[in-house]
Amino acid sequence: MTSFTITPMTGHTGAEVVGLDFTKPIDGETRASLNRAFAQHHVLVMRDQHFSPDQFKVAAQVFGELKPHDKKETHVPGHPDVYYVSNDEVVNGKRVIPGETFHTDHSNHPRPPKATMLYAVELPSRGGDTQYVNMHDAYDELPAATKQKVDGLKAVHVYLSKYSPRSLGKITADSLRDVPPPGIHPLVRTHPENGRKALYLNPVRIESIVGMEDTDALALIDGLMRHSTQQHFEYRHKWRHGDWVIWDNRSVMHQANPDYDMNERRYLYRLMIQGEVPA
Ligand code: SIN
Protein backbone atom coordinates (compact mmCIF):
# COMPACT_ATOMS: atom_id res chain seq x y z
CA MET A 1 0.00 0.00 0.00
CA THR A 2 1.24 3.51 -0.84
CA SER A 3 2.25 5.68 2.12
CA PHE A 4 -0.08 8.62 2.72
CA THR A 5 -1.77 10.42 5.62
CA ILE A 6 -5.41 11.17 6.46
CA THR A 7 -5.69 13.93 9.06
CA PRO A 8 -9.01 15.21 10.48
CA MET A 9 -9.53 18.95 9.99
CA THR A 10 -12.16 19.50 12.70
CA GLY A 11 -13.58 17.29 15.44
CA HIS A 12 -16.55 16.35 13.24
CA THR A 13 -16.16 17.05 9.51
CA GLY A 14 -13.37 17.01 6.96
CA ALA A 15 -10.03 15.24 6.62
CA GLU A 16 -6.95 16.10 4.61
CA VAL A 17 -5.33 13.44 2.43
CA VAL A 18 -1.64 14.03 1.67
CA GLY A 19 0.89 11.91 -0.21
CA LEU A 20 -1.14 10.41 -3.06
CA ASP A 21 -0.87 11.20 -6.76
CA PHE A 22 -4.25 10.27 -8.24
CA THR A 23 -2.95 10.36 -11.82
CA LYS A 24 -1.23 7.04 -10.90
CA PRO A 25 -3.15 3.76 -10.32
CA ILE A 26 -4.62 3.49 -6.79
CA ASP A 27 -4.38 -0.03 -5.28
CA GLY A 28 -7.34 -1.81 -3.68
CA GLU A 29 -6.20 -1.33 -0.07
CA THR A 30 -5.69 2.42 -0.54
CA ARG A 31 -9.05 2.68 -2.27
CA ALA A 32 -10.79 0.89 0.64
CA SER A 33 -9.04 3.08 3.18
CA LEU A 34 -10.11 6.26 1.33
CA ASN A 35 -13.72 5.09 1.10
CA ARG A 36 -13.74 4.27 4.85
CA ALA A 37 -12.33 7.72 5.63
CA PHE A 38 -14.98 9.27 3.38
CA ALA A 39 -17.85 7.61 5.30
CA GLN A 40 -16.26 8.67 8.61
CA HIS A 41 -15.21 12.28 7.82
CA HIS A 42 -17.83 13.21 5.14
CA VAL A 43 -15.48 15.64 3.32
CA LEU A 44 -12.04 14.67 2.02
CA VAL A 45 -9.50 17.21 0.79
CA MET A 46 -6.87 15.66 -1.47
CA ARG A 47 -3.98 18.12 -1.75
CA ASP A 48 -1.52 18.78 -4.57
CA GLN A 49 -3.28 17.12 -7.48
CA HIS A 50 -2.65 18.00 -11.15
CA PHE A 51 -5.51 16.77 -13.32
CA SER A 52 -6.49 17.06 -16.95
CA PRO A 53 -10.29 16.60 -17.33
CA ASP A 54 -9.78 12.93 -18.29
CA GLN A 55 -7.45 12.27 -15.35
CA PHE A 56 -10.00 13.83 -13.00
CA LYS A 57 -12.69 11.50 -14.36
CA VAL A 58 -10.50 8.44 -13.75
CA ALA A 59 -9.54 9.57 -10.21
CA ALA A 60 -13.20 10.24 -9.30
CA GLN A 61 -14.06 6.60 -9.84
CA VAL A 62 -12.03 5.62 -6.76
CA PHE A 63 -15.27 6.57 -4.98
CA GLY A 64 -17.82 4.91 -7.30
CA GLU A 65 -19.66 5.22 -10.57
CA LEU A 66 -20.03 8.65 -12.24
CA LYS A 67 -23.48 10.26 -12.36
CA PRO A 68 -24.33 12.87 -15.04
CA HIS A 69 -25.50 16.38 -14.07
CA ASP A 70 -28.96 17.70 -14.98
CA LYS A 71 -27.46 20.68 -16.83
CA LYS A 72 -25.59 18.66 -19.44
CA GLU A 73 -24.53 21.83 -21.26
CA THR A 74 -22.33 23.02 -18.38
CA HIS A 75 -19.41 20.83 -19.36
CA VAL A 76 -15.75 21.43 -20.05
CA PRO A 77 -15.31 22.05 -23.81
CA GLY A 78 -14.49 18.77 -25.54
CA HIS A 79 -15.36 16.73 -22.40
CA PRO A 80 -19.15 16.14 -22.32
CA ASP A 81 -19.01 14.19 -19.05
CA VAL A 82 -16.78 16.56 -17.08
CA TYR A 83 -18.83 19.44 -15.66
CA TYR A 84 -17.75 22.70 -14.04
CA VAL A 85 -18.88 25.49 -11.75
CA SER A 86 -17.81 29.05 -12.44
CA ASN A 87 -18.79 32.65 -11.82
CA ASP A 88 -19.09 33.31 -15.58
CA GLU A 89 -22.88 33.27 -16.03
CA VAL A 90 -24.96 36.47 -15.85
CA VAL A 91 -28.76 36.20 -16.19
CA ASN A 92 -30.87 39.38 -16.41
CA GLY A 93 -27.91 41.43 -15.23
CA LYS A 94 -27.38 39.27 -12.12
CA ARG A 95 -24.37 36.99 -11.74
CA VAL A 96 -25.28 33.35 -11.06
CA ILE A 97 -23.15 31.71 -8.36
CA PRO A 98 -23.85 27.96 -8.49
CA GLY A 99 -24.51 26.58 -5.01
CA GLU A 100 -24.88 29.96 -3.31
CA THR A 101 -27.17 28.80 -0.46
CA PHE A 102 -26.97 25.64 1.68
CA HIS A 103 -28.20 22.53 -0.13
CA THR A 104 -27.47 18.89 -0.94
CA ASP A 105 -26.92 17.98 -4.61
CA HIS A 106 -29.51 16.78 -7.14
CA SER A 107 -31.94 15.69 -4.39
CA ASN A 108 -34.71 15.93 -7.02
CA HIS A 109 -33.47 12.56 -8.32
CA PRO A 110 -35.04 9.31 -7.09
CA ARG A 111 -31.43 8.13 -6.55
CA PRO A 112 -29.49 11.30 -5.68
CA PRO A 113 -25.69 11.35 -5.94
CA LYS A 114 -23.90 9.99 -2.88
CA ALA A 115 -20.99 12.34 -3.49
CA THR A 116 -19.95 15.45 -5.38
CA MET A 117 -16.41 16.65 -6.00
CA LEU A 118 -14.64 19.77 -7.22
CA TYR A 119 -11.14 20.25 -8.54
CA ALA A 120 -9.81 23.81 -8.41
CA VAL A 121 -8.68 25.04 -11.84
CA GLU A 122 -8.87 28.84 -11.34
CA LEU A 123 -9.36 30.53 -7.96
CA PRO A 124 -9.89 34.13 -6.91
CA SER A 125 -6.98 35.66 -4.97
CA ARG A 126 -9.12 35.67 -1.80
CA GLY A 127 -12.56 34.36 -0.72
CA GLY A 128 -14.77 31.88 -2.55
CA ASP A 129 -14.64 29.31 0.30
CA THR A 130 -17.06 26.36 0.38
CA GLN A 131 -18.89 25.77 3.69
CA TYR A 132 -20.04 22.32 4.83
CA VAL A 133 -22.38 21.53 7.74
CA ASN A 134 -22.60 18.12 9.39
CA MET A 135 -26.17 16.85 9.13
CA HIS A 136 -25.55 13.81 11.37
CA ASP A 137 -24.55 16.05 14.27
CA ALA A 138 -27.41 18.43 13.43
CA TYR A 139 -29.87 15.53 13.72
CA ASP A 140 -28.27 14.20 16.92
CA GLU A 141 -28.58 17.61 18.60
CA LEU A 142 -32.29 18.06 17.88
CA PRO A 143 -34.60 18.01 20.90
CA ALA A 144 -36.29 14.61 21.35
CA ALA A 145 -39.73 16.08 20.49
CA THR A 146 -38.41 17.47 17.18
CA LYS A 147 -36.81 14.12 16.33
CA GLN A 148 -40.15 12.46 16.96
CA LYS A 149 -41.85 15.03 14.70
CA VAL A 150 -39.45 14.70 11.75
CA ASP A 151 -38.72 10.95 11.87
CA GLY A 152 -41.00 9.37 9.27
CA LEU A 153 -41.79 12.59 7.33
CA LYS A 154 -41.20 12.64 3.57
CA ALA A 155 -40.41 15.66 1.42
CA VAL A 156 -41.05 16.16 -2.30
CA HIS A 157 -37.87 17.38 -4.08
CA VAL A 158 -38.40 18.93 -7.55
CA TYR A 159 -35.86 20.40 -10.03
CA LEU A 160 -36.48 23.94 -8.71
CA SER A 161 -38.93 24.54 -5.86
CA LYS A 162 -41.32 27.47 -6.23
CA TYR A 163 -40.08 28.35 -2.71
CA SER A 164 -36.36 28.20 -3.59
CA PRO A 165 -34.24 31.06 -2.16
CA ARG A 166 -32.36 31.35 -5.49
CA SER A 167 -32.54 30.52 -9.18
CA LEU A 168 -30.46 27.75 -10.77
CA GLY A 169 -29.45 29.71 -13.88
CA LYS A 170 -30.28 28.65 -17.41
CA ILE A 171 -30.99 25.07 -18.44
CA THR A 172 -31.56 23.98 -22.05
CA ALA A 173 -34.86 22.40 -23.16
CA ASP A 174 -32.90 19.20 -23.95
CA SER A 175 -31.53 18.94 -20.41
CA LEU A 176 -34.89 19.82 -18.85
CA ARG A 177 -36.59 17.06 -20.80
CA ASP A 178 -34.27 14.47 -19.22
CA VAL A 179 -34.76 15.66 -15.61
CA PRO A 180 -36.33 12.71 -13.73
CA PRO A 181 -39.69 12.87 -11.89
CA PRO A 182 -39.53 14.38 -8.35
CA GLY A 183 -37.69 12.49 -5.62
CA ILE A 184 -39.80 11.78 -2.54
CA HIS A 185 -37.31 11.35 0.28
CA PRO A 186 -37.33 10.94 4.05
CA LEU A 187 -36.49 14.10 5.99
CA VAL A 188 -34.25 11.90 8.14
CA ARG A 189 -32.14 9.33 6.32
CA THR A 190 -29.72 6.69 7.56
CA HIS A 191 -26.26 6.56 6.01
CA PRO A 192 -25.75 3.08 4.50
CA GLU A 193 -22.06 2.93 5.46
CA ASN A 194 -21.60 4.74 8.78
CA GLY A 195 -25.10 3.83 10.06
CA ARG A 196 -25.81 7.34 11.38
CA LYS A 197 -29.06 9.26 10.91
CA ALA A 198 -28.90 12.66 9.17
CA LEU A 199 -31.33 15.44 8.32
CA TYR A 200 -31.84 15.49 4.55
CA LEU A 201 -32.78 19.08 3.68
CA ASN A 202 -32.68 21.20 0.56
CA PRO A 203 -34.69 24.45 0.41
CA VAL A 204 -33.79 24.85 -3.29
CA ARG A 205 -35.63 21.64 -4.22
CA ILE A 206 -38.14 20.79 -1.45
CA GLU A 207 -41.56 21.98 -2.57
CA SER A 208 -43.74 20.20 -0.01
CA ILE A 209 -43.84 17.71 2.84
CA VAL A 210 -46.27 14.85 2.34
CA GLY A 211 -49.43 15.35 4.45
CA MET A 212 -48.59 18.93 5.56
CA GLU A 213 -49.85 22.36 4.56
CA ASP A 214 -47.10 24.24 2.68
CA THR A 215 -47.00 27.05 5.27
CA ASP A 216 -46.34 24.51 8.05
CA ALA A 217 -43.82 22.63 5.89
CA LEU A 218 -41.92 25.83 5.07
CA ALA A 219 -41.84 26.87 8.74
CA LEU A 220 -40.52 23.42 9.71
CA ILE A 221 -37.80 23.45 7.01
CA ASP A 222 -36.84 26.99 7.96
CA GLY A 223 -36.41 26.04 11.63
CA LEU A 224 -34.40 22.91 10.74
CA MET A 225 -32.18 24.96 8.41
CA ARG A 226 -31.48 27.55 11.12
CA HIS A 227 -30.58 24.75 13.52
CA SER A 228 -28.38 22.87 11.00
CA THR A 229 -26.35 25.83 9.80
CA GLN A 230 -24.98 26.79 13.23
CA GLN A 231 -21.26 27.38 13.13
CA HIS A 232 -20.33 24.48 15.42
CA PHE A 233 -21.57 22.05 12.71
CA GLU A 234 -19.36 23.66 10.06
CA TYR A 235 -16.14 22.88 8.22
CA ARG A 236 -15.17 25.81 5.99
CA HIS A 237 -12.90 24.94 3.09
CA LYS A 238 -10.42 27.59 2.00
CA TRP A 239 -9.36 26.55 -1.47
CA ARG A 240 -5.73 26.08 -2.50
CA HIS A 241 -4.43 25.37 -5.97
CA GLY A 242 -4.20 21.60 -6.44
CA ASP A 243 -7.17 20.85 -4.12
CA TRP A 244 -9.55 18.06 -5.00
CA VAL A 245 -12.47 18.06 -2.53
CA ILE A 246 -15.14 15.36 -2.34
CA TRP A 247 -18.18 15.56 -0.03
CA ASP A 248 -20.89 13.12 1.02
CA ASN A 249 -24.33 14.47 0.11
CA ARG A 250 -25.88 12.03 2.61
CA SER A 251 -23.93 13.59 5.50
CA VAL A 252 -23.42 17.29 4.76
CA MET A 253 -25.05 20.30 3.15
CA HIS A 254 -22.77 22.80 1.45
CA GLN A 255 -22.75 26.33 0.04
CA ALA A 256 -20.48 28.43 -2.17
CA ASN A 257 -19.47 31.97 -1.16
CA PRO A 258 -19.84 34.92 -3.58
CA ASP A 259 -17.61 37.11 -1.37
CA TYR A 260 -14.76 37.67 -3.85
CA ASP A 261 -13.87 40.10 -6.61
CA MET A 262 -16.10 39.13 -9.54
CA ASN A 263 -13.49 40.46 -11.98
CA GLU A 264 -11.51 37.37 -10.95
CA ARG A 265 -12.50 33.97 -12.23
CA ARG A 266 -13.45 30.99 -10.07
CA TYR A 267 -13.59 27.81 -12.14
CA LEU A 268 -13.63 24.23 -10.83
CA TYR A 269 -14.24 20.89 -12.52
CA ARG A 270 -17.21 19.09 -10.94
CA LEU A 271 -18.24 15.43 -10.95
CA MET A 272 -20.84 13.42 -9.04
CA ILE A 273 -20.97 9.79 -7.90
CA GLN A 274 -24.09 7.66 -8.14
CA GLY A 275 -25.98 7.09 -4.89
CA GLU A 276 -28.81 4.91 -3.64
CA VAL A 277 -32.50 5.49 -2.85
CA PRO A 278 -32.48 7.43 0.47
CA ALA A 279 -33.90 5.37 3.35
C1 SIN B 1 -21.68 23.48 -5.51
O2 SIN B 1 -22.71 23.71 -4.90
O3 SIN B 1 -21.44 22.39 -6.00
C4 SIN B 1 -20.64 24.56 -5.69
C5 SIN B 1 -19.81 24.70 -4.49
C6 SIN B 1 -18.72 25.69 -4.71
O7 SIN B 1 -18.57 26.20 -5.84
O8 SIN B 1 -17.99 25.99 -3.77
Q: Assign residue 106 the CATH number of its domain.
A: 3.60.130.10
Question: Residue 39 domain-assigned?
Answer: yes
Q: Is residue 129 part of a domain?
A: yes
Residue among 18, 76, 73 nearest 44 (CA): 18
Closest residue CA from atom 4 of ligand 1 = 99
- Nearest-CA residue for ligand 1 atom 5 is 256
- CA 255–ligand 1 middle distance (angstroms): 6
Q: Is the shortest distance between the CB of 99 and ligand 1 below 6 Å? A: yes
Q: How does DSSP classify residue 146?
A: H
In this structure, the number of other CB atoms found within 10 A of the CB of residue 197 comes to: 17
Is 66 a member of any domain?
A: yes
- List residues bridging with 83 in a β-sheet: 75, 270
Question: Ligand 1 within 6 A of 253 CB?
Answer: no
Burial of 34 (0-12, 13-18, 19+ CB in 10 A): buried
Rounded Cα–Cα distance for residues 101 and 211 (Å): 26
H/E stretch holding 149: helix 144-150
Tell me which residue range forms the domain holding 157.
5-273
Residue 279 lies in a domain: no
115 lines ligand 1 (CB under 6 A): no
Q: What is the pLDDT of residue 63?
A: 98
SS3 104: coil
The span from the CA of 121 to the CA of 138, in Å, is: 32
Q: Give the pLDDT confidence score for residue 2 in this predicted structure.
A: 74
- Pocket probe for ligand 1: among 123, 254, 257, 260, the residue whose CB has the most ligand atoms within 8 Å is 254
Query: Is residue 76 situated within a structural domain?
Result: yes
- Concatenating the DSSP letter of every residue in 14-65 gives -EEEES--TTS---HHHHHHHHHHHHHHSEEEE-S----HHHHHHHHGGGS-
**What pTM does this model have?**
0.97
Residues with Cβ within 8 Å of residue 129, at least 6 apart in sequence: 236, 237, 238, 239, 257, 259
The dihedral through the CA atoms of 240, 245, 249, 252 has a sign that is: negative
Q: What pLDDT sits at residue 1? A: 65
Q: Could you read off the pLDDT tens digit of each residue along the chain, which spans 279 residues?
A: 678 999 999 999 999 999 999 999 999 999 999 999 999 999 999 999 999 999 999 999 999 999 999 999 999 999 999 999 999 999 888 899 999 999 999 999 999 999 999 999 999 999 999 999 999 999 999 999 999 999 999 999 999 999 999 989 899 999 999 999 999 999 999 999 999 999 999 999 999 999 999 999 999 999 999 999 999 999 999 999 999 999 999 999 999 999 999 999 999 999 999 999 999
The pLDDT of residue 267? 98
Distance of CA 130 to the CA centre of its chain: 10
The one-letter amino acid at 219: A
- Domain contains 220: yes
Residue 174 parent element (H or E): helix 173-177
**Is 278 a member of any domain?**
no
Atom of ligand 1 lying closest to residue 103 CA? 2
Report yes or no: 242 and 236 within 8 Å, Cβ to Cβ.
no
Using a 6 Å cutoff on CB, does residue 113 contact ligand 1? no
- String of b and e for 119-148 (b: at least 16 CB within 10 Å)? bbbebbeeebebbbbbbbbbbeebeeeeee
**41 in a domain, yes or no?**
yes
Residue 180 phi, psi dihedral angles, 5° rounding: -70, 170
Residue 53: CB atoms within 10 A of its CB come to 19
How many domains does the chain fold into?
1
End-to-end CA distance of the chain: 34
- What's the confidence (pLDDT) of residue 169? 87
